[in-house]
């Protein structure tokens, strides 16, 4: 660790970030309050993460460089991140629309008798 360069340190943080993210997903799922598309978007981020790993290996093995330097591999992997962002944004929009619709309908509270 003392002789680790920036690339090695980044890889360690990348691997270690899966644990807190899994805890986040667990509690978000358990809450049952997240819109389905939002929840799917956060889970889909794992597809991006796990697709990036083999893409990075291919970049190193076949091209002798990092993933960011192999445009077609990097672009393909980043497209998964774009889909993730779209799922999350549209999921948030669903949630906000649901709250807005709930506020627009008359409340179910009993009417007060003001005599």
In the chain, the number of structural domains is 1
pLDDT of residue 14: 78
Q: Confirm if 41 and 95 have CB atoms less than 8 A apart.
A: no
Range of the structural domain that residue 69 is part of: 38-101
Does residue 47 sit within a domain? yes
Domain assignment of residue 12, yes or no: no
pLDDT of residue 25: 97
Say if 89 falls within a structural domain: yes
Residue 6 belongs to some domain of the structure: no
Mean pLDDT by 10 residues, the chain (115 residues): 75 84 96 96 94 92 94 95 97 95 72 55
Report pLDDT for 107: 61
Assess if residue 18 is contained within a domain. no
- Identify the helix (H) or strand (E) that includes residue 104: helix 71-104
Is residue 69 situated within a structural domain?
yes
Which pLDDT score, from 0 to 100, does residue 16 have? 86
Whole-number pLDDT of residue 9? 84
Which conformational region is residue 32 in: left (phi greater than 0), alpha (psi within -120 to 50 degrees), or beta? left
Q: Is 113 within the bounds of a domain?
A: no
Cβ partners under 8 Å of residue 66, min gap 6: 7, 56, 59, 60
- Within-domain flag for 25: no
């Amino acid at each position: 660790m003392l002789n680790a360069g920036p690339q090695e340190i980044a890889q360690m943080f990348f691997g270690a970030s899966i644990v807190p993210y899994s805890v986040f997903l667990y509690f978000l799922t358990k809450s049952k309050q997240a819109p389905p598309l939002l929840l799917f978007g956060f889970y889909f981020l794992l597809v991006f993460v796990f697709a990036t790993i083999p893409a990075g290996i291919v970049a190193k093995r076949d091209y002798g460089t990092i993933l960011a330097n192999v445009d077609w591999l990097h672009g393909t992997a980043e497209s998964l991140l774009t889909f993730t962002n779209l799922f999350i944004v549209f999921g948030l929009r669903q949630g906000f629309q649901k709250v807005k619709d709930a506020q627009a309908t008359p409340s179910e509270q009993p009417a007060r008798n003001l005599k």
